[in-house]
Amino acid sequence: MVDVNDLEILAALEETAERLLNRHHETANEWFPHAYIPWSAAEDFPEDYEWSPEEAKVPEAVRSALFVNVLTEDNLPYYFRDIERMFGTEGAWGEWVRRWTAEEGRHGIVLNGYLMATRSIDPVELERARMIQVQTGEVPQPPTAAEGLAYVSLQELATRISHFNTGNLLDDPAGKAVMRRVAADENLHYLFYRDAMQAVIDINPSVAVIAIEKQVSGFQMPGTGIPGFASHAKAIAEAGIYDFAIHHDRILKPVILRDWAVESLEGLSGEAEQARESLLAQIERIGRIGQRLSERREARTAATETLA
């Protein structure tokens, strides 16, 4: 059920949601998962089949990214549950929730098909992890519509970047095409949420800033319920697919500081002013951490290359 306070915000944004939904329909391209899966690379799995890393033609860190990406997509039932809870079932918001869900469903189909056809991941490990992930049902649960819009804006952009960067590290034209196709969808989802959040800022900047600060403070990429998520996240960061530097340079700065222009908002309440100060300090701190970790990673890479 949508919170009573959220009903006012969602009602005020109904025309915005309808406009953004129409824009999405005009810009989204129809595509079919079966056309992207390299079926010619597939073979039957015998009953006594045991996967070996030698079968995978991708680095271990990239396998981690694929593992996390596909299991995140497989957890769609719980994301749908919470998106519907936040935005409701009626009008443009309800139509958007259902459209978003249908599009996200294709991502799991194409990623699973690609991984099985190319044997890039142990299928038994993947299925066991999927069972754990879906039975656990762990997903971020922003408590309000404003916080939900703040979170999904950042999360959809982060997911787009993660998918695209993963594809760049695949030495496989089919894999690159799959990841870029999925990333393109995520970008359109991001644009819907980013501009919906901008409308919240225009209507009530204080509510918006407080929501943004809370979600930046507690931000986590989807997948925290995946078995071994911490080690996979570390490998993903080490490979430069998604890390603090990317989070700062390509998400927080361009979205919060440039697009939403949080620094220059006027007429904030006292609580919102404090939230803005905290938010700006967090962004600066994340930037420093990201730069420091990137420098350490570059030093380790240089040392390894020197030894080689």
Q: Helix, strand, or coil here: 229? A: helix
pLDDT at 107: 97
Give first-to-last CA distance, the chain, whole Å.
59
Sequential DSSP letters for 157-209: HHHHHHHHHHHHT-S-HHHHHHHHHHHHHHHHHHHHHHHHHHHHHHH-HHHHH
Element spanning 252, H or E: none
How high is the pLDDT of residue 235?
Answer: 93
For tokens 């982060």, name the residue. 158
Burial 192-227 (b: 16+ CB within 10 A, else e): bbbbbbbbbbeebbbbbbbbbbbbbeebebbbebbb
Q: What is the pLDDT of residue 2?
A: 44
Residue-range domains of the chain with CATH: 4-46+53-307 (1.10.620.20)
Q: Given this model, what pLDDT does residue 104 score?
A: 97
In 3D space, the residue among 45, 169, 58, 181 whose CA is nearest the CA of residue 111 turns out to be: 181
pLDDT at 306: 66
pLDDT at 222: 75
Q: Measure the CA–CA gap between 109 and 131, rounded to whole angstroms.
A: 16
Residues of the chain predicted below pLDDT 70: 1-5, 301-308
Helix (H, G, I), strand (E, B) or coil at 137: coil
Residue 76, pLDDT score:
94
How far is residue 279 from each of residues 13, 68, 93, 238, measured CA to CA in Å?
25, 28, 28, 26
The pLDDT value recorded for residue 297 is 79
Q: What does the pLDDT read at residue 4?
A: 41
**Distance (Å, whole) CA 218 – CA 240:** 22
Give the separation between CA 225 and CA 299, rounded to whole angstroms: 32
